[in-house]
Amino acid sequence: MFKRVGLFLLTNIAVMVVIGIVVRVLGADKFLSANGIDLPTLFLFSAIVGFSGSIISLLMSKQMAKMSVGAVVITNPSNQDEFWLVDTVARLSHKAGIKMPEVAIFEDMSPNAFATGAFKNDALVAVSRGLLGSMNQKEVEAVLGHEIGHVANGDMVTLTLLQGVVNTFVVFFARIIGYVVDRVILKNRNEGVGIGYMIASVAAEIVLGVLASMVVMAFSRYREYRADEAGANLSSTQNMIAALEALRRSNDEPHLPEAIKAFGINGKGFAALFSTHPSLEDRIEKLKNHHKG
């Protein structure tokens, strides 16, 4: 995790250095300074605001996930299904080279599963009662491999850090736009910012936030393909395709809360650009084509 955090911080700094150079070459730094905008301070503020919520959510993700879906961790398996589930997760996580995650079941009749956690060696894998009831063991094994693939790939951390980066730039540029509207367009010469700054920065934050979410969702869809590959490698391609086919046949809508929807095996959005998951048809086709060669 810490290597990833360092990489994203360096990326953030590098981008800001480039922006600073461009601003200076264009002479915009003098204009911004003359209008009371301290770029380094603004960026530091933006980074704190942008990353703090994402990092806190990541650190609390396991507990939040358990509470939001009512997941019950299996500490002492009480029946054959629970014994099989725990044993399968232990075997697949060992194969993936990570410590065994906590294993939980949540009461939802739609077929779904998710993985979450701030650290790959301290994660949670949970499956719905509906998934266990609608799939055979080979298909469930592939789904578990998919979720363990998310953990082994560090997808929860990467998605959180990416969200932090885009949040930082949304906050940063929204305030720049607010200052420009307030000082240049509305010509506010009073000390401090006016109503124009507040309205423009909020509006810009909404518009930029929508654009930023498209970037985050694009990565979310990409990592679903990688997790499908992990499920195929840890179980088998045939099992992974069969599990996706079972999801496609299901008429039940996924019910995961927004906070963990991106980490489920099955997810949808109101439009392709804002969906956390590619279509099941695309995922099945990609697996077939990849393993055909």
Distances in Å between the Cα of 27 and the Cα atoms of 23, 24, 34, 37 are 6, 5, 12, 14
> Would residue 107 show up in a list of annotated catalytic residues for this protein?
no
Tokens standing for 161?
A: 């850090």
Write down the catalytic residue from 139, 141, 147, 224: 147
CB 75 within 8 A of CB 102: no
Closest to 125 in 3D by CA, of 149, 97, 159:
149
Active-site residue set: 147
